[in-house]
Amino acid sequence: MCPEDAKPMEFPIPERGGYEKLAKWMSIHPELAVFRRFGALYTESILLMQAEITQIEQELQHVRAEDKKSGDVDRQLQGMSWAHIVSTCSAEEDSPERKQYDIIMKLRELLPQYCESMAANWSTQTEVSRPSGPSPQTVELTFVIPKSN
């Protein structure tokens, strides 16, 4: 049985952390800050870009082989002259004469993205996972070779 004047106990709401508190703590103690690198996803993305570029490269090789076999001198010269490749940009889209140009332009868009992703991934992997101890150049190794009887 409860007395009439009894009141429920009041408990203060516990201070919640959240991102703001975590960010402040990590800024005060940067050596303890932990961030996820998404290494597997980043690497998978790079591998997929690599596969896409490889497929486009194979397409370019196929088109170049077809151009060499064609009876069209301008198409045959595209593999040897940038001027011949550029001259085809005014040709009708999807025409055999313009295929090399279109593929090269596609590669010009993808290759810098790929290189930037590779550099960023390499930088992230080496910076974040750098050991805190002595660098590999300063580690001394001692080998013990047992004496033979």
Total-model pTM: 0.62
Q: Do 64 and 78 form a contact (C-beta atoms < 8 A)?
A: yes
The answer to whether residue 148 is domain-embedded is: no
The answer to whether residue 84 is domain-embedded is: yes
Q: Which of 100, 96, 102 is nearest to 71 (CA)?
A: 96
The answer to whether residue 105 is domain-embedded is: yes
pLDDT at 63: 94
The answer to whether residue 14 is domain-embedded is: no
Q: Which of 16, 66, 44, 32 is nearest to 117 (CA)?
A: 44
Structural domain harbouring 65: 38-124
- Give residue 90's identity as a one-letter amino acid code: S
pLDDT at 34: 86
The answer to whether residue 1 is domain-embedded is: no
The answer to whether residue 78 is domain-embedded is: yes
The answer to whether residue 140 is domain-embedded is: no
Helix orientation angle between 99-128 and 39-69, rounded to the nearest 10 degrees: 160
pLDDT at 2: 58
Number of domains in the chain: 1
pLDDT at 13: 59
The answer to whether residue 70 is domain-embedded is: yes
pLDDT tens, N- to C-terminus, the chain (149 residues): 556 666 766 766 556 778 888 888 889 988 888 888 888 898 899 999 999 999 999 999 999 999 999 988 888 898 888 888 888 888 888 888 899 999 999 999 999 999 999 988 777 666 545 555 555 555 565 656 666 65
